[in-house]
Structure 1
Amino acid sequence: MARHIYHCPLRWSDMDAFGHVNNVVFLRYLEEARIDFMFRLAPGDGSPSFSGGSVVARHEIDYVRPLVHRHEPVIIESWVTKINAASLTIAYEVKEADDPAKVYVRASTVVVPFNLEAQRPRRITAEEKSFLEKYLDDAGKASEGALVA
């Protein structure tokens, strides 16, 4: 399984009163990594995949250790844990760039492709599914036969 790697810079304004990156800022970090994954890496030149819109249906975040502001970026690894007909789940780990064993956050997001014109959810296209399957973890692949087409 491949993982998408995003180098996320830390900003001075990300800190809370205790000198740590504020807990809600991690949602912004995850968003940056997710956008980089879904839009910049969409298959094919000029592909409309994922460009029609998406909405977040759920976030889960486990804060493993505090992250103190510094000038070096952190890395965010992203991969897919589940693909359904009209949603997908992306997992993340926010890690130290120099020491990938040092994890600050583990999280997941349920994303629903969305038709902005019709203002309603839409199904995942075959092209999108093919792209996402490259990042599907082993547990997701084991249950792949049960996916609704």
Structure 2
Amino acid sequence: MAIEIPSNELFKVQVALEVRWSDLDALGHVNNARYFGYFEQGRIGYLERVAPGRKLVESGVAPLLAHTECDFLAPIEHPASLLVGTRALRVGSSSVELQQTVRGREGGRVHAIGRAVLVFFDLAAGAAVAIPQPLREAVRLLDGV
């Protein structure tokens, strides 16, 4: 199966990371589970961009991770400087689908491509809710979706 690698220019939010020694497995590569931690840092960077501070959580609404997946394309070895790119692909009534990449900062080699679905949740009611309009507008302005 051929995997389409998105252009780096599509990702207006990029978080810089350094690979830590503790990220490695016995083979000297970044452990596959750590990629999901990298994606998490990318999602947090994205949410900080479209909803700065704690305004969203303080309003009683929080994005919950409903789904995540990763295609591993190339191993990462220590030391390495990385960029985690995150962009919105789709905005639904109560969810946002994100695409993410893990790239080498030098040379831009793509090591992984991920996808995540965030569902917006009313913490008091314990149920999914519509995405707040200011957040929806911020995502539209940033990523055009």
So what's the TM-score if we normalise by structure 2? 0.83
Change (3 A) 1:131 1:47: farther
1:56 partner letter: L
Identity level (%) = 22
Mapped pair 1:62 → 2:71? yes
Please list every run of 5 or more consecutive structure 2 residues that lacks an aligned counterpart in the other structure: 1-9
Write the distance in 2 (CA, Å) between the matches of 1:58 and 1:74: 23
One of 86, 89, 96 as aligned partner of 1:78? 86
Asked if residue 13 in structure 1 is aligned to residue 16 in structure 2, the reply is: no
Task: Name the amino acid aligned to 1:115.
Answer: D
How far residue 48 of structure 1 moved from its aligned partner, in angstroms, is 2.2
8 Å CA contact 2:68, 2:115 repeated in 1: yes
Which has a greater percent of helix? 2
Superposition deviation, residue 49 in structure 1? 3.2
2:137 to 130, 133, 144: 130
Q: Give the counterpart of 2:97 among 85, 89, 114.
A: 89
**CA 1:28–1:47 in 2, change beyond 3 Å: closer, same or farther?**
closer
Rounded to whole Å, the distance in 1 between the matches of 2:11 and 2:42 is: 15
Instruction: Tell me if structure 1 keeps the 8 A contact 2:56–2:62.
Output: no
Q: Please give the alpha-carbon distance, in whole angstroms, between the structure 2 residues aligned to 1:24 and 1:6.
A: 18
| Alpha-carbon RMSD | 1.9
State how 1:28-39 maps to structure 2 within 5 Å: 28-38=37-47
Bigger strand fraction = 2
1-structure distance, mates of 2:25, 2:50: 35
Distance 1:12 1:111, change over 3 A: same
Q: Aligned letter for 1:117?
A: A
Structure 1 unmatched runs, 5+: 142-149
Q: 1:75 offset after TM fit, Å?
A: 0.3
Q: Give yes or no for contact 1:74–1:97 (8 Å, CA) kept in 2.
A: yes
What is the CA–CA distance in structure 1 between the aligned matches of 2:17 and 2:57, rounded to whole Å? 21
**Structure 1 residues 112 and 74 mapped into 2: Cα distance closer, same or farther (>3 Å)?**
same
Instruction: Work out whether residues 74 and 94 of structure 1, in 8 Å CA contact, stay in contact via their aligned partners in 2.
Output: yes
Number of residue pairs matched?
Answer: 134
Structure 2 residue 12 is the aligned partner of structure 1 residue 3: yes
Match of 1:147 in 2: none
